[in-house]
Chains A and B, each alone.
Chain A
Amino acid sequence: MNETLAEGRYRIQRTLGYGGMAVVYLAHDEELRRLVAIKVLAEHLSDDSVFRERFLQESRLASRLSHPNVVQVYDAGEADGRPYIVMEYVEGDTLAERGKLAYEDAVPLALQACAGLQHAHSAGLVHRDVKPANLLVREDDVLKVADFGIARAAELTRLTQHGTVLGTAAYLAPEQAEGEEVTAAADVYSLGAVLYEVLTGRRPYEFGSIPELIALQTSGAITPVRDLEPSVPEPVEAAVMHALARDPRFRPGSAAELGDELAAATELPTEPLLATAIIEPLRGRTYQSLPGGSSWLWIAAAAALGVVAIVLGLLRLGGDDKPAARPQPAPIEAPVRGTTPADEARNLSAWLRRHAG
C-alpha cells in the first residue's frame, strides 16, 4: 500500500482498524483539506473480480445517501488492484465499545439509528448488517450508521458462511439467518437486537452455530428485557420486543415506526438531532421531571440561547441528588496489525495478556 491514494489526493496517516474484509485507514484529503476514513478491501478478496466489482457497485449506491445519521460515502476507486471507499471520518467510538447503557442514554441513540436506517430504506437500500460495531457514536452523541452496502457485497463470499458473520449473527433477523429474502424489516429486527443488548448486556439468544441460532429463533423464547434490567420502562421493553418479532409482518412497519414507538415510550422528541444536542448535558439528571409535554423544546431553546448551564445549575441546586454521569473509560485500542502474520500473532497475544484481568 502506498502512502497516498488516488494520485496523491488522499494521504494515509494511520490504520484505524481492520477486519476479515478490509483495512480502514485515517487519511487526509489533500484536495478538500479534511480527514477521511478509507476502507481498502483485503488483499485476499481483491483477487475475486466479481466481489471487487460488487464492492464498488454497492459503495456507489451507498454514496447516494446523505443524512446526518449515516456515514457519508465520498468516493470509491481502486489502487494497486485493491478497491477502496472514501468515507466521512467519525471520531468517537462504536456502540459495541460503549457497552451496556441506561435506557435514557440508549433510546436517543436508537432514535438516531432509526432515522438513518429510514433514510436508507426510503432510498431502497437495506443495510443487512446492523450491529453495534456498525453504529458509530461521536463524542457529542451523534450516531451514524456505517457500512451500507458492504454486507450485500459480502454475501457473494464465503465470509457469510464462516467466522465474520457467525460472530455477529446474534443480530441477524430469522429470515436472514435462514437465507430468505431480506427486506427493511430485517434491519428493524437487527436494531431491536442491538437495543436489547445495549439495555440488558445480553444478546437475545446465546448460541454456538448458525443452525442453533435458527432453532432458537424458531422455537426459543427471548427473556423479556425487564427480567434482566428492571429499570427499563415497560413501553421501551414493548418497543424492543416488537422489533424482535419472529415474523417480519408483526414487527414495526418501518424503522421510523420503531422510532415513533421508542420516542413515545420515553417521551423523547422524534427529531433525533434535537435529542442529541441536549442529551449530553442532561445525562443522569432530572429532565424527566421538567414540567409540561413540550419540555424538550423548551430546553432546546434554552440551549440555543446558551443558558443550558444555568438551567442545569438550578436543577442541581433544586435537589437533584442523582450522581453526575461517570466519564466513559477510554476506548479499547485494536491490536496492532504487524507487518508479518507472525508479528500479528505476537501482537495479538500481547494485547490479550495486557487486557486480561
Chain B
Amino acid sequence: MVCLAGCGSGPTPRAAPPPKLPTAVAAPLAARSDEVAQALANGDACRAARLAQQLQQETLASINAGRVPAPFQEHLASATNDLVSRIRCVLPAQPQVHGKHEGREKKRKKEKKKHEEHD
C-alpha cells in the first residue's frame, strides 16, 4: 500500500521556503525596538513608552499597507501591543501645594527672595 501510494515518478516534494519579512519593513522596526530597549536601559521609561507607541503605530501602518506577510502579522502586532502595555511611564510626583500651605509656601519664597536680594 505504501509503495503504491508513494510510487510517483516526480521528485520528493521539499518544504516551501519560510516566508520572509521585507528588509525595508523589518529594519526600521528593529531599529525602533533597539531604541526602546536603549531608553529602558537608560532608565527613561517615558521616552521608552513614547518610542514603543511609535513602534506600535509603525507596525500597524505596515500591516494595514499589506507590507507584512500574513504569517508574521499576528506575532508582530501582539509583540508590539504587549511591549506598549508593559512599559509604564510614571512621572515624578509634583509637590502638593494647597490652601493654607500655599500661602505659607509663597511667603517662604518671598522671604527667601528678599534675603537673596539683601545678600
- A337-355 at interface with B (beta carbon < 8 Å): 337, 340-346, 348-353, 355
A319-332 vs B, Cβ < 8 Å mask (1 yes, 0 no): 00001111111111
Residues of chain B within 8 A of A355, CB atoms compared: 18, 20-21, 26, 72
With beta carbons under 8 angstroms apart, the residue of B2, B5, B21, B73 that contacts A96 is B73
Would you call A233 an interface residue if the criterion is a C-beta within 8 Å of the partner chain's C-beta atoms?
A: no
B5–A335 touching, CB < 8 Å: no
Residue contact A94 to B34, C-beta cutoff 8 Å: no
Contacting residues, chain B, for A350 (C-beta < 8 A):
30
Number of A-B contacts (CB under 8 A): 189
B77 touches A163 (CB 8 A): yes
Number of interface residues of B (CB under 8 A): 61
What is the size category of the interface that chain A forms with chain B? Answer: 35 or more
* Residues in B whose Cβ lies below 8 Å from that of A342: 36-37, 40-41
Q: Cβ of A344 and Cβ of B86 under 8 Å apart?
A: yes
* Minimal beta-carbon separation of A205 from chain B (angstroms): 10
Task: Tell me which of A166, A168, A197, A327 contacts B15 (CB under 8 A).
Answer: A327
**B5, A20: Cβ atoms under 8 Å?**
no
Asked if A316 is an interface residue, CB under 8 A from chain B, the answer is: yes
Which residues between 1 and 48 of chain B lie within 8 Å of chain A, taking CB atoms?
1-8, 10, 13-23, 26-27, 29-31, 33-34, 36-37, 40-41, 48
**Chain B residues within an 8 Å CB radius of A94:** 74
| Cα of A170 to Cα of B60 in the assembled complex, Å | 12
Answer whether A324 and B10 are a contact pair too, CB < 8 Å, given A345-B37, A349-B33. Answer: yes
Decide: B65 and A19 in contact? CB cutoff 8 A. no
| A334–B74 alpha-carbon span in the complex (Å) | 9
Flag whether B97 is at the interface (Cβ < 8 A): no
Tell me, in angstroms, the Cα distance from A19 to B85 when the chains sit together. 10
A residues 92-125 with Cβ under 8 Å of B?
94, 96-97, 99-100
Which residues of B46-69 are within 8 A (CB) of A? 48, 52, 56-57, 59-61, 63-66, 69
A345 to B54, CA, bound (A): 13
A349 near B30 (CB under 8 angstroms)?
A: yes
Whether the Cβ atoms of A99 and B15 lie closer than 8 Å is no
Tell me whether B52 and A163 are in contact (CB under 8 A).
no
State the B residues within 8 Å of A (CB).
Answer: 1-8, 10, 13-23, 26-27, 29-31, 33-34, 36-37, 40-41, 48, 52, 56-57, 59-61, 63-66, 69-87
Give 9 pairs: A residue, B residue, CB < 8 Å, sorted on A: A132-B74, A324-B8, A332-B75, A334-B78, A348-B33, A348-B83, A352-B76, A355-B20, A356-B22
Give 19 new A-B contacts, CB below 8 A, not counting A163-B84, A313-B5: A19-B81, A20-B78, A94-B74, A96-B74, A99-B69, A132-B74, A310-B5, A323-B13, A330-B15, A331-B71, A341-B83, A343-B37, A348-B30, A348-B33, A348-B80, A351-B79, A352-B21, A355-B26, A356-B26
List the 4 closest pairs (A to B, CB-CB), nearest first: A313-B4, A20-B81, A357-B20, A356-B26
